[in-house]
A and B are shown apart, each in its own frame.
Chain A
Amino acid sequence: MTNRVFLPSLKKILLYVLLFVFLTPFLLIIMNSFKSTQQFVENPLSLPTSIQMANYVSAFDNMNFLDGFLNSLMITVGSVVLILFFPR
């Protein structure tokens, strides 16, 4: 009886561990996006000491985020409309 209760939870734990490994790259990137380059090179795994938005600000400026986003939005809306009206 204990076995039956224990087994599924072990499976669950394994799955969540696997999911964590699976998503680690994302976590690392999000974590490091708040750090300065120097902090990143020193220790890519450390938690950010203070939350800096500098990376986001410069990314927003450098890549013309709004223009790019509007282009993507238009393409997405256009293709979704076409797919909806001309299904296979």
Chain B
Amino acid sequence: MDRKIRLRNAGTFLLFGGPSVIAFLAVVVIPFIVGLYLTFTNWDVRTGDNSFIGLSNYVAVWQDTVFWTQLWFTLKYVFFTVIIANAVAFFIALALTGGGRGEQWLRTGFFTPNLIGGIILGYLWQTLFSQVLPYLGEKYGWSWFETSWLTNTDTAFWALVITTSWQLIGYLMIIYIAGFAGVPNDVLEAASIDGASRMATIRRIMLPLTIPAIVICVFISISRSFLTYDINLALTKGGPFNSTELATYHIVQKVFLSNQYGVGQAEAVVLFAVVAIIALTQSYLLKRLEVES
């Protein structure tokens, strides 16, 4: 009897969960394991080599100093992107949860950049940085904008940060709005009866109660900005002098341009480890701040 029920439960699970499990295995788990295995071989599509060579790919990664500088560059880029995008999205969402007129339009407007792919966004901002801003700089004598931001490593860095934040803000804003909508009204009412100021309400009530939304947003922005490739490709193409290559860009170059499949794959694994460690640490640390309302 017991066994029959269990069998039927397994059947029900397979019926409903089976397709998703198979899809997940086929496109995430198996490719990941195969990819991990390939880092220990001298795999090459052209020659068909596929023999076990141990850790020498990882030794090559260790010696690839360019990769480590790009990884450091990527870390800085992620740091600023995550902070700017989340801070701006948080305050826009806060301003857009009052229930005033025109709110829907404003939300839609801020979400628009997210509807366009990264490649087109990159080209759009490339025109802006290399044509429109220098024009303004020359006309009004703003020394900041006189040369294109994309010709200098430092300013190209900020160009990347601004473009990525611009794309992310709308998306994060939606999650924050959902988070604010989950804050119970009675708590806010109690706060206003107790005479809490707007700032105090935000700091003491809104912020602690939206920690789950913050965790999700920080997680999404960390992983999305670590894996930025399209914007990097369209905006700077890694230039000037390969100084603004992000880690993913470097890996793609390594694999498909220098044809070092094994080394590139090993670098991807290293990048995965870095992203996983950072993303999991932040969600662990932030989750400890969660409170019950």
Is B9 engaged at the interface, CB distance under 8 Å to the other chain? no
CB under 8 Å from chain A, chain B span 1-42: 19-20, 23
Q: Mark B106-134, 1 if CB is under 8 A from A, else 0.
A: 10011011000000000011011001100
Is A53 engaged at the interface, CB distance under 8 Å to the other chain? no
- The main secondary structure of chain B at its interface with chain A is helix
Task: List the interface of chain B (C-beta within 8 A of A).
Answer: 19-20, 23, 92, 95-96, 98, 100, 102, 106, 109-110, 112-113, 124-125, 127-128, 131-132, 135-136, 166
Number of A-B contacts (CB under 8 A): 47
A29 to B127, CA, bound (A): 9
Residue of B nearest to A40 (CB): B131
A45 to B127, CA, bound (A): 12
* Residues of chain B lying within 8 A (CB to CB) of residue A40: 131
Cβ-defined contact, A86 with B20, below 8 A? yes
16 residue pairs bridging A and B, Cβ less than 8 Å apart: A8-B100, A11-B95, A14-B95, A15-B96, A22-B110, A22-B113, A22-B166, A25-B128, A25-B166, A26-B124, A28-B127, A29-B124, A44-B131, A45-B132, A45-B136, A86-B23
Residue of B nearest to A86 (CB): B19
* Residues of chain B lying within 8 A (CB to CB) of residue A4: none
* Residues of chain A lying within 8 A (CB to CB) of residue B127: 28-29, 32, 44
Cβ-defined contact, B109 with A19, below 8 A? yes
Is A23 engaged at the interface, CB distance under 8 Å to the other chain? yes
Cβ-defined contact, A23 with B109, below 8 A? yes
Number of interface residues, chain A, beta carbon within 8 A: 22
Given A26-B112, A86-B19, A88-B20, the answer on whether A15 and B131 have CB atoms closer than 8 Å is: no
* Residues of chain B lying within 8 A (CB to CB) of residue A8: 98, 100
A32 to B23, CA, bound (A): 44
* Residues of chain A lying within 8 A (CB to CB) of residue B135: 43-45
